[in-house]
Amino acid sequence: MLSRVAESVFWMNRYIERAENYSRFIDVNHQLSLDLNEEVPNQWLPLVHTTGDYELFAKKYSEPSPVNVIRFMTFDEENPNSIFQCLSKARENARTIRENISTSMWEVLNEFYLYVKDYRKLYMETNGEHGDTLSMGLSDFLSTVRKSCQSFYGCSDATISHDEVWNFSLLGRFLERADKTTRILDMKYFILLPSVHDVGSTLDLLQWLSLLKSASAHEMYNRKYKKIDPTDIAEFLILNDTFPRSIIFCIQEMQEALEKISGLKEGLPRNSAQDATTVYLNKLRSENIKSIFDKGLHEYLDDIQIELNQIGSKIVERFFTN
């Protein structure tokens, strides 16, 4: 397949995955804020830290109010990662590779984009500046975003050949997902408890729980562990090799997609993207959660992000530029 097309497929999927994760981040935080009383410190700023866009946010908005954070992450045109921007870019990428995807895939994405665009317009007109941000069926909107992402995945799964285009889709999707899972886990680092005595308190547990929900991992976690415990949660989201949003699962999928793309069967030599992924996967497989906590969870998550970025650059180098 054309290198340019591979790159567009890769990014189209990253943007969809990003939009899905953002919608969950915002929704969970919104639900959490409804459970908390006013004495609890601001729940919304950590969200901006988590996404890595704090600087841009601080430049544009005076305070991390719910209205501002939601607007920034959902509809802001100047935030390259807002749901609206992700959708616009995903659709633009799809437009440049339409001949490689099915009509039904394109229709799902196009209708999805039109929905977000229309909702945004309504939101900006009636609720953009002030007022009750959390009304206007925000939860419904976020839920529709998630469902549309799911139907995009479902539709691509069922209507395009599982060939190179498909494998580059997986590569983009799982690289983005692994990155977002590290950020979800890291959220706890940015959410400060009122005091150290609150460690293990109801509030602390509530926060860990919402973090699990942010990764859509609540139910699957419950099936494996009996209570909410930070170490167990970290273990589940980093090292569980059957849960589709854990880091190790994502890396496994990437490795498999890379093996297929690289065409070992066709006798082509192994490449650095493939090697880096395999080496890293083996390293993860030898980890245990105790050693991770000994090192410090936040530092460990930083390392994962660096590792993912390096794999990402190797993919770009090997497949997208020539």
- Binding stretches for another protein (CB under 8 A): 1-4, 6, 92, 95-96, 98-100, 103, 106-107, 110-111, 114, 164, 168, 261, 263, 268, 319, 322
Residue 13's nearest CA partner among 152, 173, 162, 171 is 173
Spatial contact of 270 and 278, defined as CB atoms under 8 Å apart: no
Question: Token digits for 319?
Answer: 């497949």
d(CA 192, CA 187): 10
Nearer to another protein, 77 or 294 (CB): 77
Min CB(121)–another protein separation in Å: 9
Residue with smaller CB distance to another protein, 37 or 322? 322
Minimum distance from residue 98 beta carbon to another protein (Å): 4
Rounded least distance, CB 280 to another protein, Å: 22
Task: Look at residues 182, 133, 167 and name the one whose alpha carbon lies nearest to residue 21.
Answer: 182
Nearer to another protein, 147 or 283 (CB): 147
User: Within 13 Å of residue 245, how many CA atoms lie on the same side as its CB?
Assistant: 24
Residue 184 structure tokens = 């979800």
Q: Taking the CB of residue 150, how many other CB atoms lie within 10 A of it?
A: 12
CB of 214 to another protein, least distance (A): 32
For residue 163, give every residue at least 6 positions away whose Cβ sits within 8 Å of its Cβ, in sequence order, or none: none
Between 268 and 279, CB nearer to another protein: 268
Gyration radius of the chain over CA positions: 20
Q: Which is nearer to another protein, 111 or 157 (CB)?
A: 111
Q: Rank residues 158 and 316 by Cβ distance to another protein and give the closer one.
A: 316
Q: Which is nearer to another protein, 57 or 112 (CB)?
A: 112
Phi, psi of 28 (to 5 degrees): -65, -40
Specify the residue, 55 or 99, whose C-beta has the smaller distance to another protein.
Answer: 99
Longest dimension (CA), the chain: 63
- Least separation, in Å, of the C-beta of 263 and another protein? 7
Distance CA 34, CA 11 (A): 35
Cα 166 → chain centroid: 19
- In this structure, how many other beta carbons lie within 10 angstroms of the beta carbon of residue 192? 12
Q: What is the DSSP letter of 264?
A: G
- Tokens in use for 260? 């297929």
Q: Closest distance between another protein and the C-beta of residue 243, in Å?
A: 30
Shortest reach from residue 12's CB to another protein, in Å: 13
CB of 62 to another protein, least distance (A): 25
